[in-house]
Amino acid sequence: MTTTTSLPDQKKVGMVSLGCPKALVDSERILTKLRADGYAMSPDYAGADVVLVNTCGFLDSAKEESLEAIGEAIAENGRVIVTGCMGEEADVIRARFPQVLAVTGAHQYEQVVEAVHEAAPPSQGPYVDLIPQIDVKLTPRHYSYLKISEGCNHSCAFCIIPQLRGKLTSRRIDAVLREAEKLVAAGTKELLVISQDTSAYGVDIRHDERMWKDRQVRAHMTDLARELGQLKTPEGEQPWVRLHYVYPYPHVDAVMPLMAEGLLTPYLDIPFQHASPSVLRAMKRPANEAKVLERLKSWREICPDIAIRSSFVVGFPGETEDDFRYLLDWLEEAQLDRVGAFRFEPVEGAQANTLPDPVPEAVKEERYARIMEVTERISAAKLADKVGRIIPVIIDEVGEPDEDGDIGATGRSQADAPEIDGNVFLRNVPAYLAQGAIVKVEIEDSDAHDLFGVVGA
């Protein structure tokens, strides 16, 4: 007689991930561990045995968004575990939603998994070992975030990241490179290097050296960048490597030749936050801005195609009209490629909350409108200069044929990071074009944020 054994149904976990890419990486790691423990992922609330909400707690508006997400998950499912940055305020969460099953803080992977095991015990027992150990990705297959460290050693007056995520904790260089190599082998065409302070990578572990391949490499941004530039896809192509959250320390100059040689994507995301010396002092920013304009000029001399993106805060306490005009003048001279602006918002626990001379909300709005007008004009002019050029573009999405059979696609240039920068919209692309392909595109038109073109010969 033949006896068959059927696998019990897998318990299913739903996930809502809010906030920055660093939180998204946390969500991927949690789901990967749960997948290895025998859980399946649920695409909706209804099919989940338990729902995880990975929260953001950086700004009060982000906290409110997190609370709304928790409320929606409770209303739709009822069995909710909360994690992430806002998990540090468990009393606030439980006061509003006493029925949550558990609350954990940022990157507390083991505690989250334990809470899931308690709320919905895995049902597959000895059969779990039969499940392939496959990493869960929440981004498209062709790009991946590579988190190199956690936490931050700075004490910026407007920020509570050190309270939420702790001091700088760098990963071993060989572990980072092994993960990057694995991602590229699995189909990643673009690596986005993230942390709270990429330039400070390795400071906490004294730039510890590890053997990688046949050589010693340091836990240092320049060593990391050089090694990532040696990676190759299974097709023998070089993946794009994009650096985010780079503070302009002197050693950043050393990555410019790597960009000029094509080993790194010519792109830097630098959180300048402001330009006025008095505002920067009040913000307790770690970098000296005095020579930044000179360095931008020298970087462009070494790598003319480099794109610089940054973000700025307007309406910081004590910011005068003269301070704001200084910022606008600085932006006119800096000619940054991509700029995001934010109105100052108090964050519970931040030092800035006690500073004198708060800026009225109406003034914040007026300054926000002015900075966006200036930066959009600069962006429009820079993008217009690309019309007529042929540039590499990575394809994010390919559309369906229209009534005439034409197929459109959306991609990004090397100057555009996913989610935060612009797009390149393509017309009449070949039917064989697939997501993740890197193709040469002739730019035909532009606006203030995006480019438009056609796949070149």
Q: Which residue has the tokens 């054994």?
A: 5
pLDDT tens profile 360-411: 999 999 999 999 999 999 999 999 999 999 999 999 999 998 888 899 999 9
Give the whole-angstrom CA distance, residue 454 versus residue 442.
Answer: 5
Domain coordinates in residue numbering, the chain: 12-129, 143-384, 390-455
Given a cut of 60, is residue 297 above it in pLDDT?
yes
- Read off the pTM: 0.85
CA–CA separation, 165 and 158 (whole Å):
15
CATH of domain 390-455: 2.40.50.140
159 marked ligand binding residue: yes
pLDDT at 346: 83
The rounded mean pLDDT for the chain is 90
pLDDT at 134: 63
The reply, when asked if residue 303 is annotated as ligand binding, is no
Element (H, E) at 96: helix 90-96
Tell me the mean pLDDT in the region 14-39.
88
Q: Is the pLDDT of residue 130 over 50?
A: no
Rounded mean pLDDT, 227-232:
96
What pLDDT sits at residue 76?
93
Q: Give, in words, the CATH class of 12-129.
A: alpha beta
Gyration radius of the chain's alpha carbons: 24
Q: Is the pLDDT of residue 20 over 90?
A: no
Residue 145 phi, psi dihedral angles, 5° rounding: -85, 135
Give residue 108's pLDDT: 83
Q: What fold does the segment set 143-384 form as a domain?
A: pyruvate-formate lyase- activating enzyme (3.80.30)
Can you give the pLDDT at residue 171? 96
